[in-house]
Structure 1
Amino acid sequence: MTTENAPPPGILAMSEALERGVVTPSALLADALARVSRANEALGAFVHVDEAGAARAAADAGARQAAGRRLGPLDGVPVAVKDNIWVTGMPAHWGSRMWSDFIPPCDDIVVERLRAAGAVMIGKTNTPEFALSGRTDSPLHGKARNPWDVALTPGGSSGGSVAAVAAGMVPVALTTDAGGSTRIPASYTGLYGLRPSNGRIARRHGFPPMGIDFQAVGVVARDLADLELTYGLLAGPDERDPASLRLPSPRAGGKPRIGWFARYDGELVHPEVEAAVAECAALLAQAGYEVAPRSAAYDVKLVRSVWGALSSAGAARAAEMHPERWRAEASAAIAAAATRGLAMTAVDYVRALDGLATLRAQVSENWGEVDVYLCPSAASPAWAIDQEFPAEIGGRPGHAAAQNTFATWVNAIGHPGLSIPGRPHADGRPLGVQLVGRFGGEADLFDVARAIAGGASWTRPAFPSW
């Protein structure tokens, strides 16, 4: 369906070609595997490729295609799954030497839904250890690199998934997002990246969470239509996940009301990120949305305090699943986090939960008459891959926490967040802007994202050819 180095089609184009019989699932798989073969050594996107399993799934999809019984638009389409999500028959390394030989006993619910939709899962994508870093550099698998420039990081912890999609290996990939791990990497690679409301994509089986309910399964795609389609097939309640049964009905009628902020007082943000957010706010106002500047509804210092305590406790619990190994095999960052977690008392942990309750009440009180907040996805564009964080942001020295200034609050309150491409940096690096909705408000995010995509005055740059 494609020629070497030509831009790959999206899900809708693939599905249309499958419906017309001009391509087979096996041919789509062969093209995807050829792209992986060409690009993966340079990019470190995939840590496991299941050619045999994917071939069987493609053959099954081909039989349905021949019989006129395709299961839907994902039937026969290649997809990727982040390495910390359980897939029967594929390893789940969690980016860690301690899980180097682990193969899950079952699928997580989201993977069950991919199988039910007929998707062809070609493999697992790179993630840092315990999916707990803003860069993707696993002690087991090494670095993932940014397809726009391999000297840049794709971010973390879903760096492998965004690299696979941005390089055209697959049109869509599963991610997770506990502190920005879908939206921030999407912003660095020019993708659409969704962290849905807690429970919107049901979960049951998997690794223990780093921070109670902060993590959700997410999706990244090049095209908004592909992301929305995939999300629609994966979302929905399941009795095995009580959180999935408690979502509100979508807001009824009318354009969502928009509040926006491009900076947080005292925190770092690149001026071109600020400008991209402001430009999107003006675009929405011109499109007839009610748009007003607002202050951030959260206390970023409280967000960081709560996340630091909960993630350290989570790292300690995960490390102690291998009590004889973790001190020797964990990365330096995880070993330090686990050590902090083991030093916490029960009172320390309960105080962190108290802080989270305070934060959630604070955001609820401060939210106001807004349906969607528009703000940065990350404080800056992608930076040099060998640096832990950007050396400077907006002319000031960078620091490790800066990139999460606009992201982790969304996880703390369990709301949906969608990173969308904004006007790129002057040097060509992608920049993302973020839409944050009310709990259960994914439909509003897609509404606003379509308005921005349809009215943008900038030209979205072509993805790099691999």
Structure 2
Amino acid sequence: MTLPLRAMAQAEAVRSGRSNARAVTEAALARIAAGNPALNALVAVHAEQALDEADAVDRRLAAGENLPLAGVPVAVKDTIWVAGRRVTQGSRLFADFRAPADAIAVERLRRAGAVVVGMANSSEFACKGVTTNPLFGPTRHPMDLNLTPGGSSGGPAAAVAGGLVPLALGTDAGGSSRRPPAHVGAVGFKPSFGAIPYGPGFAEPFVGIAVMAPIAADIADTALMFEALAGPDPRDPDSAAIAPAEERPIASLTVAYSPAFGLDAPVDDDVRDAVERAVEVLAGAGARVVRPEGRFPHWPAGVTETALMPLQHAGLAALYGEAFRRDPGLFDPDIAVQIERGLSLSGAEVAAAQLLGVDVGRALAAQFSSVDLIVGPTTPCAAWPLDRLGPETIGGQPVPPRAHAVFTPLFNHAKVPALSLPCGTGRGGLPVGLQIVAPRGMDRRVLRFAAFAEETLAGCGPESQP
């Protein structure tokens, strides 16, 4: 029997008795054995433990438990604690680290019946826009092995888009689980800060904005995974409840389309055209799309990703500066540059970046007083060659290596939910992502609109299909 790859269908097959968790897990392990050597999406496969977990799921079902993710194979980013498993952050410093406990999100996945099949590749400390590190090397794009899926959650995104697993758990502190899904044609959801409890786990360089992020092949599976993970936990003081599902018709929501999210940033023509086509289709299907004049949203003066990066650099320096001073050669050279920058920063420079991040959140909240959702491109470009930190040009202009990441980080600092949905293709048939953003706590609004958008775009021609 050929098992469906969608998580919802797999879980239903297991719950109904048409299949069982062991069979689903064995099929996933076979797909991984066949497909992962080329992709390097998973850096550890725990076949024996996964089969033991699957057998436990089958016993739980036989005992009458209701498991929404019954038997669904999940890959977990190699920065998130999975009890007893080697979790390295892609760093030589943690090459032999064994997690002493499950992160709360992993605990909840298992409680819902999911089976953790392995760890997915990440850039070192999840602090780089491509997925490569000193321990495991690069993850490759499922559609073209010469391209990168982006980062830092390139491993989880490639594992889903490459058909190895139906679900993956990533992290997102600046777009790490939206940009890679956009590049490979998957769905990546950054919930509101606190919607999914964080930790226990490694200390984060970017304090106060990182979230656990579901990655899936479609919106139904993304929502299924999110509902299994969301909700406060006393072990995470930042965790909080979010708004329940709304009854408002989609047509009553005011959706602001912003081609560059109010930033002075170039966008490749193919990406702009794909997003524009998708927005026109959604408007034609009944979405109330508005196009604010001028730049929208209106951000604080001087805001750029560069202006906020001292927070990441200082965080890396605080966590790993002493190890760097002892032996710089232990680190990915690109991460070493960030640590050096962090060590050179003054307290005033770090505080200025922190204050700017607070202003970003306030500015976006003001914009949401007049609109319900904001949509635009997830990234300004499609995937690029594997051996580069970023494309050399975007929109025909020379750009620095991080220019590909410009449209995601501000929403982390604002702590709002943001989702990347496949919305079409650009050059060479490479996927393009539509980013959907809502006020903090309105995660289910994002998922509901994304479901409408996915269904609407799926009915269009090949240029607009997700």
Give the TM-score band, short-chain normalised: over 0.9
Match of 1:27 in 2: 23
Alpha carbons of structure 1 residues 105 and 306: separation in structure 2 relative to 1, 3 Å: farther
Amino acid of the structure 1 residue aligned with 2:254: R
2:268 maps to which of 242, 267, 270 = 270
Shift of 1:326: 4.7
SS at match of 2:317: helix
Shift of 1:237: 0.9
Q: Distance in 1 between matches of 2:236 and 2:79?
A: 18
Q: Distance in 2 between matches of 1:427 and 1:344?
A: 42
Amino acid of the structure 2 residue aligned with 1:2: T
Amino acid of the structure 2 residue aligned with 1:58: A
Shift of 1:112: 1.0
Amino acid of the structure 2 residue aligned with 1:290: R
Match of 1:54 in 2: 50
Match of 1:138 in 2: 133
Q: Distance in 1 between matches of 2:143 and 2:237?
A: 40
Q: Which moved more, 1:192-201 or 1:326-335?
A: 326-335
Shift of 1:300: 8.7
Shift of 1:143: 0.2
Amino acid of the structure 2 residue aligned with 1:262: P
**Does the 8 Å CA contact 2:11/2:69 hold for their aligned counterparts?**
yes
Match of 1:170 in 2: 165
1:431-446 matches, cutoff 5 A: 431-446=432-447
Amino acid of the structure 2 residue aligned with 1:279: R
Q: Distance in 1 between matches of 2:461 and 2:374?
A: 22
Q: Distance in 2 between matches of 1:100 and 1:325?
A: 17
Q: Distance in 1 between matches of 2:10 and 2:464?
A: 22
Shift of 1:354: 1.9
Q: Distance in 1 between matches of 2:240 and 2:70?
A: 27
Shift of 1:48: 1.0
**Does the 8 Å CA contact 1:98/1:326 hold for their aligned counterparts?**
no
**Does the 8 Å CA contact 2:172/2:213 hold for their aligned counterparts?**
yes
1:2 maps onto 2:6 in alignment: no
**Does the 8 Å CA contact 2:128/2:335 hold for their aligned counterparts?**
no
**Does the 8 Å CA contact 1:211/1:310 hold for their aligned counterparts?**
yes
1:181 maps to which of 165, 176, 181 = 176
Match of 2:206 in 1: 211
Shift of 1:70: 4.2
Shift of 1:206: 1.3
**Does the 8 Å CA contact 2:88/2:96 hold for their aligned counterparts?**
yes
1:111 maps to which of 98, 102, 106 = 106
Percent sequence identity is 35
CA deviations 1:49-70 (Å, max 9, x no partner) are 11121111011112234x2624
Match of 1:36 in 2: 32
CA deviations 1:125-173 (Å, max 9, x no partner) are 0001010111001111100001011111011000000111111111010
Match of 2:255 in 1: 258
Q: Distance in 2 between matches of 1:50 and 1:325?
A: 34
SS at match of 2:119: strand
CA deviations 1:82-107 (Å, max 9, x no partner) are 00001101111001111101111111
Q: Which moved more, 1:442-451 or 1:242-251?
A: 242-251
1:415-434 matches, cutoff 5 A: 415-434=416-435
Q: Distance in 1 between matches of 2:20 and 2:425?
A: 36
1:291-440 matches, cutoff 5 A: 291-294=289-292, 295-297=295-297, 298=299, 301-320=302-321, 322=323, 325-440=326-441
| Runs of 5+ unmatched residues, structure 1 | none
Alpha carbons of structure 1 residues 16 and 250: separation in structure 2 relative to 1, 3 Å: closer
Amino acid of the structure 2 residue aligned with 1:27: A
Q: Distance in 2 between matches of 1:301 and 1:29?
A: 50
Amino acid of the structure 1 residue aligned with 2:342: G
**Does the 8 Å CA contact 1:420/1:432 hold for their aligned counterparts?**
yes
**Does the 8 Å CA contact 1:300/1:405 hold for their aligned counterparts?**
no
**Does the 8 Å CA contact 1:174/1:218 hold for their aligned counterparts?**
yes
Amino acid of the structure 2 residue aligned with 1:138: N
Shift of 1:277: 2.1
**Does the 8 Å CA contact 1:303/1:408 hold for their aligned counterparts?**
no
Q: Distance in 2 between matches of 1:250 and 1:19?
A: 25
Amino acid of the structure 2 residue aligned with 1:454: E
Shift of 1:393: 2.0
Q: Distance in 2 between matches of 1:379 and 1:332?
A: 26
Amino acid of the structure 1 residue aligned with 2:405: N
Shift of 1:287: 2.5
CA deviations 1:184-227 (Å, max 9, x no partner) are 00000101110000000011311111221221110111111111
SS at match of 1:133: coil
CA deviations 1:311-338 (Å, max 9, x no partner) are 0011112213646655120111111111
Aligned length: 458
Match of 2:150 in 1: 155
Q: Which moved more, 1:48-57 or 1:317-326?
A: 317-326
Amino acid of the structure 2 residue aligned with 1:286: G
Q: Distance in 2 between matches of 1:148 and 1:346?
A: 44
| Runs of 5+ unmatched residues, structure 2 | none
Q: Distance in 1 between matches of 2:307 and 2:196?
A: 24
Q: Which moved more, 1:406-415 or 1:453-462?
A: 453-462
Shift of 1:247: 4.3
Q: Distance in 2 between matches of 1:261 and 1:462?
A: 21
Q: Distance in 2 between matches of 1:398 and 1:166?
A: 28
SS at match of 2:150: coil
**Does the 8 Å CA contact 1:326/1:335 hold for their aligned counterparts?**
no
**Does the 8 Å CA contact 1:306/1:353 hold for their aligned counterparts?**
no
